[in-house]
Structure 1
Amino acid sequence: MANPTTSLPLYERVARKNTIARAIELSILSLLLSLLAYRILSFQDHGFGWLLAFLCESWFAFIWVLTVSSKWNQVVYETYPQRVLQRKLELPPVDMFVTTADPVLEPPILTVNTVLSLLALDYPADKLACYVSDDGGSPLTFYSLVEASKFAKLRVPFCKKYSIPVRAPFRYFSGDSMSSQDTSPQFQQDWKKMKDEYEQLSQKIEDAAKGSIPCELIGEFADFMNIQRRNHASIVKVIWENKEAGDANGVVPHLVYISREKRPKHPHHFKAGAMNILTRVSGVMTNAPFMLNVDCDMYVNNPQIVLHALCLLLGVKSDKDCAFVQFPQHFYDGLKDDPYGSQWAVLHEYLGRGLAGIQGPFYGGTGCFHRRKVIYGLSPYEYDEEISGKLSDQNLQKTFGSSMEFTKSGAQILSGSKSTSSSPHNLLRSVEAANQVATCVYEYGTAWGREMGWIYGSTTEDILTGLTIHGRGWKSTSCTPTLPGFLGCAPSGGPATMTQHKRWATGLLEILVTRRSPLILTLVGKLQFRQCLAYLWILLWGLRSVPELCYATLPAYCIISGSRFLPKCYPEAPRNTETVFGVTQKEKSPTNSSDDDNANVGMVGRITFNESPIFISATMVLLVHQTGLVWNFKVQTGGSRWACLEYESGALALLFVHLSRWSSMVQGFGDETRTHEINVLLREGVSGRDSNPTGYAGLTTELVLNMGE
């Protein structure tokens, strides 16, 4: 009789009930279509403002169709990691990738904490290998990792002995971590020892960062002698090799440092190139069937993430239903209410779960588990005969490259066979082959970056790679455990946010015009139609600002030109107007703090203006509106008494609102510690029966007119 615990599913696919939300979304869509129909029927009676409004509203309706389609079938995957252990299966190896590029913009202590959180996962240490890609070729980063490996030999057993929930030391020791743990004298003694060791590690890295050279460039550091960031040979260093297989609680996983070769005249393809190097180096060293990649600023928040991911990777009926498992990106110490929209809370809650009900979530570039065979370009619909044809030596070298060690490991992955070696990997013997596949000329004449690996051609290589995988017919899954899998740091200032958004917008538009456009992959590939609409939703993200800005300037244009763009209402009798302003409650951050911790608390909720261009559009619209008011601020002698009173009172109220916001914005640019002082909540209404309408329609963007009998 079968054990009931082994027959239980590793995950459940739960469909969310969103009937009310669907009804509301369809109602909004019907209103948008009705408005478009009204504008088409009324074209002959209006001018340019009406046409521009029609074009903008058509765009809004199109985007809303994409949104409704993407959110329609919301699905949540509930995983049961303990059932993986209960089945007593042989747990598969997992290779973990960490990418960093600049020791100044990405401090080594941040990378160290991410690596330490990965090394301390609740998973057999002999099944894990951590590879760190340093695109900066910095001896400081390598030195920090060497010191971190020494600390990890103490930290990993401590975490597993006491089941420490937070495995990143800088987060664990930043709060009152000891109060929620065991209060035994032994734990308190070990806790203080760990804290002292971590403080010493942090001090060593900080002292090394202050010097131009962190240490003497001899021995293991000799390869960094006279190194140039954009012109150096490949460097592969085995910092720590786990040779104690079987002792899962007392050892540290493999830790390997990689700095790929860079030459001035050879393209390096940014992060996509670094990820392909990591894939090849890990292929000749450990060749795990599953790979996890994280950014250096995103540490592990849930120590059981590997088990959660395996619930989906091993629990699906067919591999084609789960090419990769994407964990949503969550952030720590973000600004209150997310003023820059960089934390994506709503996006993950609704759109992410909607994508899970179609062909799966997008690849987010970090916090993702991949099947290695999918990254190697395998299609889910290839038969054994087709796969066998790819395993010939000639085809393997044409696809994987000239390295015999790597082509052999690639054939092993594509065929689905396990390693025949019973002894643990000897990483030091693989360093020479690893250096070969890390050169900048290795990819020439191969399929890397085109048909396999991370795809080149866009600065948003994550979306392009995920789109290519979905275009082959694979599906993906999202994993949303109660305790978030990863936590990262989001940009807290305007300039950093603008730089990030510019890169995203540019990269997404690059994908839209390539041969891997979702429209093309839907027609000639295996991309589902609704998944295509979802990709269009995100690829068109950068273009949305154009119609939104045009629509925001329409009221000012109508004031200046004496036209209107909103439908006219004709009530049966004059009505009294009541201007209603709702002022939101404000919270003032403390100005004085006794220590750094209190200062950090004061930062929460504060908007950092710096010298940010993020407010230029809003300021321009504000100036245009004020210009329109001054231009058209006159007594409407040709209209009725109600029309004159309506315009004058509305204009004065709107002018007051603008002046209030203007003062707040000026103060914000002048002093970084100030926030917007006045937020005006607005409701919209239109009245009057003047046959010769004024530019009053533009006032509705800022003013509240609540109609009453």
Structure 2
Amino acid sequence: MASSQSLPLCEKTPLKINTLQRAQEIAILFLFICLLVYRLLSLTDHGFVWLLAFLCESWFTFNWVLTLIIQWTPVEYKTYPQNLLQQVPELPAVDMFVTTADAELEPPIITVNTVLSLLAVDYPSHKLACYVSDDGCSPLTLYSLTEASKFAQFWVPFCKKYNIQVRAPFRYFSGNSKLPSDNPIGFLQEWTKMKDEYQKLCQKIEVAVQNLATLDFSGDYVDFADIDRRNHPTIIKVIWENKERLSNNGVPHLVYVAREKRSDQSHHHKAGAMNVLTRVSGVMTNAPFMLNVDCDMHANNSKIVLHAMCLLLGFKHEKEGAFVQCPQMFYDTLKDDPFGNQLLLPLKTSWPGFAGMQGPPYAGTGCFQRRKVIYGFSLIDSEGNLRDVALDKERFGNSTELIQSATHTLSEKIDHPHDLSSAVEAANQVAGSSYEHNTLWGTKVGWVYGSVTEDMLTGMKIHARGWKSILCMPDPPGFMGSAPSSSHVIIVKEPALIFFVAVFLMKILYTLRFYLGFGLSIKQWWNHVRMGPSGKIPYVTASLFGVVTLAFKLLGISEVAFEVTQKDQYSSSSDDQEDDVNAGRFTFDESPIFVPATTLLFVHFTALAMGLFGMQPPAHGADGAGLGEMMCCVWVVLCYWPFLKGLFGKGKYGIPMPTIFKSAALALLFMHFCGRIPLPLRR
């Protein structure tokens, strides 16, 4: 730990808030309050619809108050990796977890690049171990990792010798990378050799992907013969073991894990896979810290582990650092971010604010966890009590090896098998599908079950136990992943309309100022309005279906389904893709997720047409729609412009006819009933 007299490992610095930003935020809050007061004063004259509006706007106001609380406490952390070796005589070990679930949707070459980038980070190799969880139980994944381990024997020393920054080969050898001008003698020759070896690796994997029969299912891959990915025993393979314990340039341990699955037992999706990796690593290497990344999130900063250790070891009390979270960043994003994947505004505003409170939320990837925290211990547990709890089989299960390793973790004793192969039997036991029965795994120990978003539940549980988390945003970013590339002069009759217009305009100008201040384009801001975390399109598609699915789960009607996101595979023809005129266009299918948004578009189009032509329903009087209603309809149509284009698109860029018919029927039904409901007239 860093003392007051020693060089610091990290520093926590409050950030100044722009005066204009504070003024805007207070003005928006004042307008929200005025709007609520107006609703309350006129509630008795407008009935139930007015009450619904008041409740909705009360939620928006409450949400804005929470936003202010977060954004008014921003801090940043500075790390000093150069001081780490001076302050810490022996660096702690780190177990690195990579998760993949489908070899088709997540091509093995993507997983391979992520693994290679982790194996080559600037950290003592004998202190690292990489575990790859293959929930798809694919022989292609094992074969690809086996071949990658051979390439790593050359790649890791090459990266450390020449201090390569980006150590994922597909990024380093991409057309955008440039060779340094001051190449040392022999560098170009070795660089050419590395590129040739990587191309050979890619070719081997591609051949295996195209023809699975090339694998020897009677030899090394006999465990995969006639295997059912939903019903199979545990398969654990020690692909590479770093027996040169004191070598810094060697290749870290590499272990393949396919946990046991049975069709009659729940496997709890990614949370279950993470708990298996925690137990398997616990009986094999038992590092005090763990890193987990998705298969498409490669290490972009070669010193990211050193940065994380500075934060985890740099505070006097370990409660300050239950986990270190690196934000998700993406490479090769489309111009102006048409799908709102980059989340730049939250990263610049909300995340530093979270860091100034109890810390950022757990994002599910790019996170360094303290093992004892994952084991479920709180800050109030005494050291003696911890040892007693560790011996409780109800907590960890009936594996003697796991209980012993947990005891060592709590006492901070470094102990692990000298031969990983000798721990495979114990690892198979703790990876069994029935091991968690009658234990606290998934509730009080490990990643929390109950949701496909295991990250949110797990992070909240950790914070609820009193732990804090730390935001790590080094330059360059620690990890990079692939983002999906496939969606007042007017006089009015209602003086109170000024509140609605003012809130709307202030919110627009508020977010626009941030984007322009960060050097981003107006088009990118507009894409954020449509597709960002609080965007209009996600609200009535993904978020709506998420709420409905959760309601069905709580009612016991159905279980939440977990779907693997298809990853874009890197290829040498990526330059052609950049010139694709369809890049950034929305793609559609017959999924019901597109019905609500299409229906909403039809409703506002119909309302806009009726307003323009004076076709006001009789129940609403003869005044016709006001300017405010017309502008709202125009705004909604603009927000759902991709769906409007989809009505006239062809192929996958067009909305299927069944979706159009369903949406049109729902829109007509909605307009029919709304036309018969008498609403309060404007006075």
The C-alpha deviation readout for 1:228-282, integer Å capped at 9, x for no partner, is 1011110110000001122202x10000001001111111111111111101111
Match of 2:411 in 1: 415
Displacement after TM superposition at 1:5 (Å)? 11
Match of 1:56 in 2: 56
Cα distance in 2 for residues equivalent to 1:160 and 1:426: 26
Q: Does 1:292 align with 2:270?
A: no
Alignment of 1:254-653 (within 5 A): 254-391=253-390, 393=391, 395=392, 397-419=393-415, 425-494=418-487, 501=542, 505=546, 596-602=574-580, 606-611=584-589, 616-633=595-612
What is the one-letter code of the residue matched to 2:62? Answer: F
The C-alpha deviation readout for 1:432-473, integer Å capped at 9, x for no partner, is 111111111111121111111111111111111111111111
8 Å contact 1:629–1:651 — kept in the other structure?
yes
Cα distance in 2 for residues equivalent to 1:286 and 1:635: 74
Cα distance in 1 for residues equivalent to 2:307 and 2:224: 39
SS at match of 1:132: strand
State which of 641, 650, 668 in structure 2 corresponds to 1:670. Answer: 650
8 Å contact 1:283–1:410 — kept in the other structure?
yes
Distance change in 2, residues 1:54/1:503 (3 Å): closer
Cα distance in 1 for residues equivalent to 2:396 and 2:636: 64
8 Å contact 1:460–1:508 — kept in the other structure?
no
Distance change in 2, residues 1:493/1:387 (3 Å): same
Cα distance in 1 for residues equivalent to 2:220 and 2:631: 73
Query: Normalising by structure 2, what TM-score?
Result: 0.78
What is the one-letter code of the residue matched to 1:100? Answer: T
Distance change in 2, residues 1:603/1:67 (3 Å): farther
8 Å contact 2:98–2:292 — kept in the other structure?
yes
SS at match of 1:417: coil
The C-alpha deviation readout for 1:586-609, integer Å capped at 9, x for no partner, is xxxxxxxx9641333546962233
Cα distance in 2 for residues equivalent to 1:460 and 1:51: 33
8 Å contact 1:609–1:668 — kept in the other structure?
no
8 Å contact 1:286–1:425 — kept in the other structure?
no
Match of 1:573 in 2: none
Displacement after TM superposition at 1:66 (Å)? 2.1
- Structure 2: stretches of 5+ with no match in the other structure: 488-530, 532-536, 556-571, 617-621, 656-678
8 Å contact 1:398–1:447 — kept in the other structure?
yes
8 Å contact 1:6–1:86 — kept in the other structure?
no
8 Å contact 2:396–2:403 — kept in the other structure?
yes
What is the one-letter code of the residue matched to 1:626? Answer: F
What is the one-letter code of the residue matched to 2:484? Answer: P
Cα distance in 1 for residues equivalent to 2:244 and 2:306: 22
Distance change in 2, residues 1:662/1:502 (3 Å): closer
Match of 2:497 in 1: none
Count how many residue pairs are aligned between Structure 1 and Structure 2.
585
Displacement after TM superposition at 1:484 (Å)? 0.4
8 Å contact 2:297–2:482 — kept in the other structure?
yes
Q: Does 1:158 align with 2:158?
A: yes
The C-alpha deviation readout for 1:339-364, integer Å capped at 9, x for no partner, is 33232221222111111111111111
Displacement after TM superposition at 1:503 (Å)? 10
Distance change in 2, residues 1:666/1:254 (3 Å): closer
Distance change in 2, residues 1:132/1:595 (3 Å): closer
8 Å contact 1:143–1:214 — kept in the other structure?
no
Cα distance in 2 for residues equivalent to 1:504 and 1:472: 31
SS at match of 1:99: strand
8 Å contact 1:139–1:221 — kept in the other structure?
yes
Cα distance in 2 for residues equivalent to 1:109 and 1:503: 34
Cα distance in 2 for residues equivalent to 1:597 and 1:24: 43
647-656 vs 366-375, which moves further = 647-656
What is the one-letter code of the residue matched to 2:24? Answer: I
The C-alpha deviation readout for 1:518-548, integer Å capped at 9, x for no partner, is xxxxxxxxxxxxxxxxxxxxxxxxxxxxxxx
Distance change in 2, residues 1:96/1:500 (3 Å): farther
8 Å contact 1:139–1:213 — kept in the other structure?
no
What is the one-letter code of the residue matched to 2:405? Answer: S
8 Å contact 1:25–1:68 — kept in the other structure?
yes
Distance change in 2, residues 1:273/1:595 (3 Å): closer
What is the one-letter code of the residue matched to 1:367? Answer: G
Displacement after TM superposition at 1:77 (Å)? 0.8
Q: Does 1:7 align with 2:6?
A: yes
8 Å contact 1:97–1:130 — kept in the other structure?
yes
Query: Normalising by structure 1, what TM-score?
Result: 0.75
Distance change in 2, residues 1:171/1:647 (3 Å): same
Match of 2:205 in 1: 205
Distance change in 2, residues 1:672/1:399 (3 Å): closer
What is the one-letter code of the residue matched to 1:398? Answer: E
176-185 vs 121-130, which moves further = 176-185
What is the one-letter code of the residue matched to 1:296? Answer: C
Displacement after TM superposition at 1:8 (Å)? 1.5
8 Å contact 2:601–2:644 — kept in the other structure?
no
Alignment of 1:57-136 (within 5 A): 57-87=57-87, 89-136=89-136
8 Å contact 1:323–1:474 — kept in the other structure?
yes
Distance change in 2, residues 1:603/1:147 (3 Å): farther
What is the one-letter code of the residue matched to 2:203? Answer: Q
Displacement after TM superposition at 1:616 (Å)? 4.7
Cα distance in 2 for residues equivalent to 1:512 and 1:320: 35
Cα distance in 2 for residues equivalent to 1:193 and 1:6: 48
Cα distance in 2 for residues equivalent to 1:503 and 1:53: 19
Displacement after TM superposition at 1:337 (Å)? 2.6
Cα distance in 1 for residues equivalent to 2:552 and 2:75: 27
Match of 1:219 in 2: 219
What is the one-letter code of the residue matched to 1:35? Answer: L
What is the one-letter code of the residue matched to 2:356? Answer: G
Displacement after TM superposition at 1:428 (Å)? 0.8
The C-alpha deviation readout for 1:374-433, integer Å capped at 9, x for no partner, is 111111111223224324x4x2x22211111111111111222233x7xx7210111111
Distance change in 2, residues 1:258/1:658 (3 Å): closer
SS at match of 2:130: strand
Larger Rg: 1
Match of 2:670 in 1: none
Cα distance in 1 for residues equivalent to 2:65 and 2:553: 18
SS at match of 1:292: strand
What is the one-letter code of the residue matched to 1:13? Answer: K
SS at match of 1:7: coil
Displacement after TM superposition at 1:118 (Å)? 0.4
8 Å contact 2:289–2:370 — kept in the other structure?
yes
8 Å contact 1:635–1:648 — kept in the other structure?
no
Displacement after TM superposition at 1:43 (Å)? 2.4
Q: CA RMSD in A?
A: 3.7
Cα distance in 2 for residues equivalent to 1:34 and 1:327: 39
What is the one-letter code of the residue matched to 1:350? Answer: T
Displacement after TM superposition at 1:622 (Å)? 3.6
